[in-house]
Structure 1
Amino acid sequence: MRWFGGCAPAPGTRPVMPMGARLLWSDPPVWMVGAWPDRLVRSVDGGGARIAVFGSCSASAEDVARFLTVDDLSAAVDGWAGSFTVVRVTGDGVVEVIADAAHACPVYTARFSGGVVWGSSSRALSGLVGGGVDADWLAAFLSDKRTVLSGRSAWEGVVPVPAGHWLIMRPGGGASVRPWWTPRLRSYTEAVPLVRRALLDGVRARAEGVAVSSDVAGMDSTTAAVIALRYGPVLGMTVHPEGVSEGGDVRYARALDLPGLTHTLFPLRSEHLPFSPADEPLSATDEPAPSSVSWAMLSAQLRAVADAGSVCHLTGDGGDNLFLSPPTHLADLVRRGRLLRMVGDAQAWARLRKVSPWPLVAAALRQDGGQLARPWLSRPPWLLTTVPALRVDASADAGLVAGVRGAARRAYADSQLTDAFGLELQNPYFDGAVLDAVASVPSWERFSVYRCKPLLVDAVGDLLPELHRRRVTKGVFAEDFHRGIRVNLRRLLSMAGGRLADLGLVDPLPLRAAIHGAALGAKTVWPPLLSALAAEMWLEVVETTPPVTWVSIEEGIG
């Protein structure tokens, strides 16, 4: 698995490093683990300081060098596109780490007797401080994966650096964090070109000069593929149910006839159904990966594009989080006294979904952002532990930022799975620059029941054929999940009484009842059920995978 990190040793102690790491700098140590191509890590020395950028970034080496000695290192992050982490070591031994605004490149810290270690893998750091899973974090994940406990990771003793924050570690083992990014306000017309620039530059940072593949399905992935074509050929892949080779995503994919695009269909066969065992085993990741339950399909798809020579695979993940807003803006309108607009938007949303508008109006009046965003959410009946009440901010902007950050962090676990193929799984919609541009637009201007993803279409729609610009639907695979449950029913029922039950987190009886219901085709609230099954799969893998071994710098070099 590819990750990076470093150590700020306590006085009188020798710094440590993970076994098998390669030192980028030795004093204080900064290391890399796994394969890091030059385009994903660039470092510059000069003026008594050293600076490195890890990840996909639009900045050149000259751009990076300009920030060797500036006081405000966060100014660098604010002007570059991509998903990346900036690390600087000054002449007096101070280590600064700039965490990206969207949480697409997580950073963690852990304290031990020898000082502070930091890095981009919470599981790796846990090997130094005990290696135990944080049961409270896991319980919160099972309750609602989108609002896990603040300041906690999936591992005991390992603390996330908050997204959009600046980690500063001084000689002697002291560490502090402070925010560097907050949403700013712009008009819609000001934000549109910024969204365009962030997406174009973010895709370029990933696609230029390498073999690229891309999902070609909904509007988001298709847009990423079309942008990548500006910088070289693209292998486009569309997943579809076996025997259904017309309509849906396939129709739109076949209509995308552009120079440089080679298109291939990937039929979803019975062995690819959700919950099916995969030829490629799951890897130990920092937390339960969203694709764990569909790993049979995703791993086969990734194997196909890797065998075709792809180095970078683009997805449209994050596009819905950014551009397909639930009616959370209704609470913002109430706060501003715009009650007529609030009622009008609530009625339009309700007509579109054939529901009553009055629950929306009531939620807006009592400033219940959670109810506006996800009215179906309730405590899973199989969850045994008491989860602390998590505050849900009524602000649509806060909900947007929190939703993107949570999804981006979880997607990072998917990218860790992809490392097994020597392939980069890249999600340009989770870039901090994209989030900054979108979140700056007033919430009621981001929302529309009359146009699909208006901000995205206005920013880059001219790059798409007319058919795709006007698309308002996306592929739905719910029936495949029901079939996958039926085919793998015995295995899933066994999992319901597995490690989560042993930890006292779930009651197997109601969990098995939910699995049976889904197998029979009953209407299913999928998110909590998928979270439980993904967590069970994750526990099995991490409990059977040895923790990362840590050694002193001398041993590691020797």
Structure 2
Amino acid sequence: MRTAAASAGATRQRPPRFLVAGGVTMKEYQARWYGGCAPGSGIATTPVGARLLWKDPALWVSGDWRTTHVRTLELGAARIAVLGPCAATEQELASALSCPDLASAAGFWDGSHTVVRTSGGGTVEVLADAAGSSPLYLVNTADGVVWGSSSFALSPLAGGNVDTEWIAAYLREKYAPATKRSAWSGVKPVPAGHMLTLGSPLGPTSSAWWARVRRTPGEASAALRRALGEGVRVRVEGVSATTDLAGMDSTTVALLAAQHGTITGVTLHPSGVANGGDMRYARALVTPGLDHRFFPLDARHLPFASTDLPLPATDEPAPSTPVWSMFSEQLGLTASAGMPCHLTGDGGDNLFLSAPTHLGSLARHGHWWRMFRDAMDWSRLRRLSPGPLIVAACRSGTAHVGRPARPCPAWLMAPVPDANTTVATDPDTAFVTSLRTVARSAYAEVQLADALGVALHNPYFDGTVLDAVVSAPIELRYSARRYKPMLVDTFSDLLPEAHRKRAAKGLFVGDFHQGLRVNLPRVLGLADKRLAALGIIAPVPLTKAMHAAALGARTVWPSLLSAVATEEWLEAVENAPKTTWTRTAVFPAGAQ
């Protein structure tokens, strides 16, 4: 048996160059991603500059990777690779290498990663994580299937064109994207929680390996404790790292990280405001191994503010695009301080503050008293009428309970293709679908941070964290009377009392109104560019919507922010260098 830990980074053709703007440094980087080819064609289609882990069938990594986040193991003709942060031991890798069912052996390893296994029979198995935080895509080429973790990197193999129908669906409702599509024409997503099998005479196949299990409250809490704790450990152990330090989610991550070395918690706050809000809780948090850093925000960091630092190209529009000025400076300062790893609390709200989709299930099973009580509690919390909630629950409209469908923006002109609008009668199905969509979108944030030399991690989007949360009884997860009860109960011994009793978090709608008002000329300039040229939006109605939002009118922010982010994303991918691919003949081992 031979083991190997892949060395960090791929060979570069020239020393890295740095761009400096507004005090932020951005490295001219080689995008960090991985991929491989289907076996059997005799031709390896590989990206120039990547480092091959295997030659037949080809498997590669591109960009800078920590040694512990690219691991391989070989035994004869059988090989396994784990790409990404993973808590599996070498013994567990060895067991998975020989296990008949890869998913049963490797599917529940903590962290966020992709597992790849080849056998002497010429089959390649690629295990996609349950939550979709490590997205996978594939392209059909003349030499067979090529798969990878970046749809943008794969796109030149399919013509390099954006998928306008995907964009239209994204602008209509970013939480219900066009099914079986990516932002790039000809680049198809591998569904989260599925196994991609290559090398079969029938061609590539994809089958679901993950399904929800049920646990008692104690078992689910223990599973969450282990999954989140291990997910944090494998990211921060042995490196200097920072974490967000604001709400309950990021505070929990910071406290877990501090158990494995000195961690710097970063709290954002308005310039000149030294107390109150997140600052109050951050200052009160005193624990060994946790240092504090406060990042003051001023007019330069308002949403939509301009910056000399170009927006990096990503697989799809990143949620942080409208606040790129703030986001880039925060991470740039983190990198310049010699801390190349940053953990966020993103995903915590999606897991523990879900809309009350369980009302439909309660009504369907005749639990009327509990349904009415929860509907009344939730409506009081949100200061809404309980009537629409109760009606939606009785009609089993689970997908829209607490989150009604938004009207189509007047400026969206392109027809929207069939989207992921299937009404899920099971609240857990709706919950998992929603979280996977957000997790995939958050991967674009990881790509933004990569450009600044920072490895950004979102532990709440790990597959085993999702598995633990969704396994819990529904009453443990949702409550209008307690704030994030499952998270608080699971980490009650770790969180200080003040944080356990915290029942709210900051809202930033006012910042977006102000940012749009201050930066209105710049934003208006985005209304009649690439999206308009593609026939997807109408500039005049979009301009009117921007003016109204700047004046403080009630605004459907998700659609407007998506339009701004998509326009800036189109410019970024247009100006970014494309992945160059090469075709090389390969021969099976032992061939003459």
What interval of TM-score do these two structures reach, taking the shorter chain for normalisation?
A: over 0.9
Paired AA for residue 434 in structure 1 = V
Partner residue, 2:32: 2
Q: 1:528 to 1:186 in 2, by over 3 A?
A: same
Paired AA for residue 178 in structure 1 = S
Q: Which has the higher helix share?
A: 1
- 1:434 is paired with a residue whose SS is helix
Instruction: Name the CA distance, whole Å, in 1 between partners of 2:202 and 2:237.
Output: 40
How do residues 400-411 of structure 1 correspond to structure 2 at under 5 angstroms? 400-411=431-442
- 251-260 or 366-375: which moved more? 366-375
Instruction: Name the CA distance, whole Å, in 2 between partners of 1:433 and 1:531.
Output: 29
Instruction: Name the CA distance, whole Å, in 1 between partners of 2:257 and 2:170.
Output: 35
Task: Pick from 503, 507, 525 the counterpart of residue 476 of structure 1.
Answer: 507
Instruction: Name the CA distance, whole Å, in 1 between partners of 2:202 and 2:33.
Output: 22
Partner residue, 2:590: none
Cα deviation, residue 450, structure 1 = 1.1
Task: Pick from 66, 78, 83 the counterpart of residue 37 of structure 1.
Answer: 66
Partner residue, 1:551: 582
C-alpha contact (below 8 Å) 2:243/2:263 kept by paired residues: yes
Partner residue, 2:334: 305
Partner residue, 2:354: 325
Q: TM-score, normalised by structure 2?
A: 0.91
How do residues 59-208 of structure 1 correspond to structure 2 at under 5 angstroms? 59-170=88-199, 174-208=203-237
C-alpha contact (below 8 Å) 1:225/1:234 kept by paired residues: yes
Instruction: Name the CA distance, whole Å, in 2 between partners of 1:316 and 1:448.
Output: 20
Partner residue, 1:455: 486
Instruction: Name the CA distance, whole Å, in 2 between partners of 1:127 and 1:436.
Output: 35
- Cα RMSD of the aligned pairs, angstroms, is 1.5
Cα deviation, residue 385, structure 1 = 2.1
* Runs of 4+ residues deviating >4 angstroms: none
Whether 2:545 is the aligned partner of 1:514: answer yes
Q: 1:279 to 1:466 in 2, by over 3 A?
A: farther
Whether 2:248 is the aligned partner of 1:224: answer no
Paired AA for residue 141 in structure 2 = F
Paired AA for residue 248 in structure 1 = G
Partner residue, 1:536: 567
Task: Pick from 296, 318, 339 the counterpart of residue 267 of structure 1.
Answer: 296
Task: Pick from 454, 457, 465 the counterpart of residue 496 of structure 2.
Answer: 465
Partner residue, 2:275: 246
Task: Pick from 316, 320, 323 the counterpart of residue 291 of structure 1.
Answer: 320
* % identical equivalent positions: 53
- 1:117 is paired with a residue whose SS is strand
Paired AA for residue 521 in structure 2 = R
Whether 2:391 is the aligned partner of 1:362: answer yes
Task: Pick from 488, 491, 496 the counterpart of residue 527 of structure 2.
Answer: 496
Paired AA for residue 580 in structure 2 = T
Instruction: Name the CA distance, whole Å, in 1 between partners of 2:323 and 2:65.
Output: 27
- 1:257 is paired with a residue whose SS is coil
Instruction: Name the CA distance, whole Å, in 2 between partners of 1:377 and 1:184.
Output: 33
Partner residue, 2:49: 20
Whether 2:450 is the aligned partner of 1:412: answer no
Instruction: Name the CA distance, whole Å, in 1 between partners of 2:296 and 2:202.
Output: 54
Paired AA for residue 16 in structure 1 = T
Cα deviation, residue 380, structure 1 = 1.6
C-alpha contact (below 8 Å) 2:40/2:122 kept by paired residues: no
- 417-426 or 438-447: which moved more? 438-447
Cα deviation, residue 271, structure 1 = 1.0
Instruction: Give the gaps of 5 or more residues in structure 1.
Output: none
Paired AA for residue 2 in structure 1 = R
- 1:495 is paired with a residue whose SS is coil
Partner residue, 2:305: 276
C-alpha contact (below 8 Å) 1:217/1:475 kept by paired residues: no
Q: TM-score, normalised by structure 1?
A: 0.97
C-alpha contact (below 8 Å) 1:47/1:68 kept by paired residues: no
Instruction: Give the gaps of 5 or more residues in structure 2.
Output: 1-30, 587-592
Whether 2:240 is the aligned partner of 1:211: answer yes
- 479-488 or 440-449: which moved more? 440-449
CA deviation profile, 1:319-351 (whole Å, cap 9, x unmatched): 000011211110010111111211111111112
CA deviation profile, 1:333-375 (whole Å, cap 9, x unmatched): 0111111211111111112222211111001011112321412
- 1:97 is paired with a residue whose SS is strand
